[in-house]
Amino acid sequence: MRVADLIVDLQVDLADPDHGLFTQAASERFVSKAVLFVGRDLDSTFQIDAGAITPEPDADTRELFLILAQIHACQFMRARTATVIDVSSGDKSVDRSRTPVEWANLEKDLRTHYQQRLAAARPTPSSPGDDCGLITPNLATVIYEQGRDL
């Protein structure tokens, strides 16, 4: 899978096909961070080599990349809009005070969606005794009495 294809899909999802909000470099950064963190969350080793993601992700993982890239875009926009000021001139005014809040709300919704998709993508135990590789030690109580040899 090519990173450029993910960037095009990301721009469509963010309603920014003509790079009005995000530069190409910013979009590449969002996607590269998403690939790294989704790989970590799925306990996989995704890498970007020569503009391609290896190993080839499945459709569900690709959607996780896009959702997480959107979250990174929201964080970027929160930082960018945090210092905007309201403008008024005569009878005209522009109120931008809610912009960072709206980006934060979108980020929160995307995080919830990401967590749900991630939970569905993670492997589940195949049998009641299989706990996905977690080791449960068998512990026994040992009582030592003073003056006794073991």
Angle between helices 59-81 and 24-41 (to 10 degrees): 130
* Helices and strands, counts by H and E, the chain: 4, 4
Cβ–Cβ under 8 Å, residues 56 and 62: no
Residues 6+ away with beta carbon under 8 Å from 105: none
pLDDT at position 138 is: 67
**Predicted pLDDT of residue 6:** 92
pLDDT for res 84? 73
Q: What is the pLDDT of residues 57-104, one digit of tens each?
A: 999 999 999 999 999 999 999 888 887 777 777 777 676 677 888 889
pLDDT at residue number 145: 65
Measure CA of the first residue to CA of the last residue in the chain; give whole Å.
63
How far apart CA 118 and CA 66 sit, in angstroms, is 12
pLDDT at residue 1, rounded to an integer: 83
Convert the pLDDT of each residue in 91-149 to its tens digit: 776 766 778 888 899 999 999 999 999 988 876 554 454 444 445 566 666 666 666 55
